[in-house]
Amino acid sequence: MLVGYARVSTAEQNPAHQIDALTRAGVAAADVYVDYASGAKASRPQLDLVVRLVRAGDTVVITRLDRLGRSMLHLVTLGAELRERGIGLRVLEQGIDTSTAEGRAMFGMLSVLAEFQRELIVANTRDGLAAARARGRKGGRKPRMSPEQAAHAQQLYDAGTHTVAQIAALLGVARPTVYGYLDRGPGTAGAGAETEAR
């Protein structure tokens, strides 16, 4: 069975030329699924449906590779998943058909390029973090409370004079933030305050 997939970036764009190409390639009009989503958008309900529907021996047909994958890595991963399940992939404009040796070789080359791209991203990120550390900058989020604020919150909490909600309001932070900074071990004087704040 042939299952067609088409994608346009916005609802205003017309997928008719893709649908026409898919039907000319032998896909029944009822078996063409269309997403209206940008290339990088994660949510593609029709593509997800196609991947769930196809079975071993079926072939997914698209007009161009960029209609299918959000990125090269996503494309290759999806191609590998289809291949492992015994499902073919035919790309009309680029002449790729994974049911042939040539098509599988083309996908293999794309796979190598995607892995190379991923390794470059990892290496660049690692180099950027190392350079930032060398300049004295640390990665990660800025703390929501300064050490002085955290100490003040702990004092108020231990004294039992303020609830956690009151401490949060006083310091201008959310209640869960205060909980994250408090040492609430056994025997803490503010244990009643915690209960009151809940």
Beta-ladder partners of 3: 60
Mode of pairing for the β-strands spanning 59-62 and 32-36: unpaired
Cβ density class 75-105: b for 16+ within 10 Å, e for less: bbebbeebeeeebbbbbbeeebbbeeeebbe
For the stretch 169-176, contacts whose Cβ atoms lie closer than 8 Å and that sit 24 or more positions apart, written own/partner, are: 171/145, 173/144, 173/145, 173/149
Separation of alpha carbons 55 and 87, rounded Å: 7
Looking at the annotation, which residues are catalytic? 9
* Beta pairing partners, 34: 6
Question: What would you report as the CA-atom Rg of the chain, rounded to the nearest whole angstrom?
Answer: 28
Largest Cα–Cα distance in the chain? 78
Nearest to 68 by CA among 100, 90, 97, 95: 90
Strand order in the sheet with 32-36: 32-36, 2-8, 59-62, 88-91, 96-97
